[in-house]
Amino acid sequence: MRKIKFAGVAAATLLAISPVATNALGNTEGVAQAATTDTTSTPSFGSIIETILNKVTDYIKGLQDKGTDSTAKPETSAAQKAVDDINGLKDTYTFDEKNVATWKSFSALYNANNIEKQDIAVLTDALYPSLKLDDKTVAEIKAADNLKVTISGAADNSDFKKTIMNMVNNGNGQQFQVNIQVTDSKADNPDATLVNKTITFVNNKQVTVPSTSLAIKYTSPVSLPVGSSVLEQTLTSSVNDQVTNEAGATVKPASVNAGDFYKTANDAIAGTNKLGLGANFNVDGATYYQPVTLTFDKNAVDISKIYNEMITTGEKVLTLNGENVGSNAIKGNTITYVRTIQVGAGFVNPDNNNNNENNNNNNTNTENGIWVEDSTIGTVQVKNSTASLYNDDNDITNRALAANSSWATDKSRVNSKTGLKQYHVSTHEWVNASDITFTSKDGNTTNNNGSTSGLNNITDLQGYHAVKLDGPTGFVYALYSQNGTRSNRGLAGLTSWYTDKSATDNQGNTYYRVSTDEWVRASTGVTLN
């Protein structure tokens, strides 16, 4: 269609400029005439062509008026300077940490959106806050008061504001554009466009995307020799917790505060009955509880929001050593956990710098402790939200188990420092006990925290027996009470302990009693003599 249209235009133009004699066109000699009874005069061929040419000219003029007229020129030298200044503006303007983008910078631009043919001064008022135009440019543009401007950012003002605020708030390369059209009110054709320019605004400020889930891991218990400095354990350097988000990335708290010492964990959370210990830990065999408070930047982590969504929808995660955070641990945008401080030779420091030596037990060794594995055959049922998977080194993977799904497992493992328990569900992947319910092949089910339901079948051992624990010395073997809960104490590797009773749990694991109500589970590295 376009081809035919312009062919017609060319033909009409050609006829218009050809020297045609009117009398020749009116000569009818040799031309067949249609029979007619109309006695009125017939329009000449020339007048018909003139009519068509006029219509074509009007049509082309209409097309020109809708777009930029490359032949349109400003009527004054002042207008020409202004046009040159506007065309000379950069196509892209960027913002970052030093040149900060704000709503105030663009509010005048927003107010001018889609208002046709405003005074040219509106352009400088709209662009000056964001582009920092120099005074000379502003003066030259404003001097051309015959120029008019139309600024277009979006067809709808509400949409325009959203795009501006998205660029201002989110940074990381977000952008928006405006189109500037300039006309001359004193020109012969005041609708002809002198300037048709698009400017792009980009915010390159690096903005932290808020985390939607947090997993906090920390060392507890912390075992210290008698005479250790009390002050040292209140320093930030004494805290070695690790905080990761839903993507497995490390999240740094804005501040860390290791608090005072208390007799019970409840006192530590409540901040009541604080103990006065002096300069050193001097009581052999004493156990203390210390609150550690992590404060987060709300722009990076909104603790209350994550907790509320965890409780209401189950889609978010907020855990301390694999267990869901309780409401009493949250205050404002802080999380407080309690670590256990054990003093004296009766407790074993689980830290070990030589764990790779003489390790013949195939236990996974991490900076957070020793993983002690058990044969545990059965199935795990995921709870009402997805369960993250961890590799052999306890690093979170990019896979998860679907909510309410069931998976076979052949073994479990417990971390010697944290007490965290996990179940093996694929070749190199584990799921936290807190995220699932375990059912043994005999149909017995564990509690929600992954511990056994208690010890039974308690039997007296005849004669003298000792439990021998393999090394190295950095290994720590977990202890359990008769009700199945894990003790805050452990046994060091390369040691032997007298035992007088054995018992089993609902999973069929065997335990040996080594103190009044502390039992060690028979597993790799545990030998009864």
Entry pTM: 0.35
Predicted confidence at residue 33, as pLDDT, reads 38
- Facing residues of 515 across strands? 518
Average pLDDT over residues 471-476: 66
Predicted confidence at residue 252, as pLDDT, reads 86
Looking at residue 210, the DSSP 8-state letter turns out to be P
Q: How many CB atoms lie within 10 A of CB 48?
A: 12
**Tokens 């002198």 map to which residue?**
194
Predicted confidence at residue 23, as pLDDT, reads 38
Q: What is the pLDDT of residues 314-343, one digit of tens each?
A: 778 888 888 888 878 888 889 999 999 988
CA–CA dist 47, 472 (Å, integer): 112
**Tokens 């912390």 map to which residue?**
222
Question: How does residue 55 score in pLDDT terms, banded at 50, 70 and 90?
Answer: low
Q: Which SS3 state, helix, strand or coil, does residue 114 take?
A: coil
Mean pLDDT of the chain: 76
Range of weakest confidence among 56-60, 322-326, 350-354, 449-453:
350-354
Q: What is the pLDDT of residues 373-413, one digit of tens each?
A: 777 888 888 887 778 888 888 887 767 777 778 888 888 88
CA–CA dist 53, 10 (Å, integer): 10
pLDDT at position 452 over 60: no
Q: What is the pLDDT of residues 260-312, one digit of tens each?
A: 999 888 888 888 888 888 888 888 888 899 999 999 888 888 888 888 888 77
CA–CA dist 58, 17 (Å, integer): 17
Predicted confidence at residue 427, as pLDDT, reads 79
Q: Taking the CA atoms of the chain, what radius of gyration do you get in angstroms? A: 41
Angle at the Cα of 504 (from 502 to 509), degrees rounded to 5? 110
pLDDT at position 527 over 90: no
CA–CA dist 113, 121 (Å, integer): 14
Predicted confidence at residue 6, as pLDDT, reads 38
Q: What is the pLDDT of residues 409-419, one digit of tens each?
A: 888 888 766 67
Distance of CA 501 to the CA centre of its chain: 53
Q: What is the pLDDT of residues 139-191, one digit of tens each?
A: 989 898 899 999 998 888 888 998 898 888 878 788 899 999 999 888 888 88
Predicted confidence at residue 173, as pLDDT, reads 85
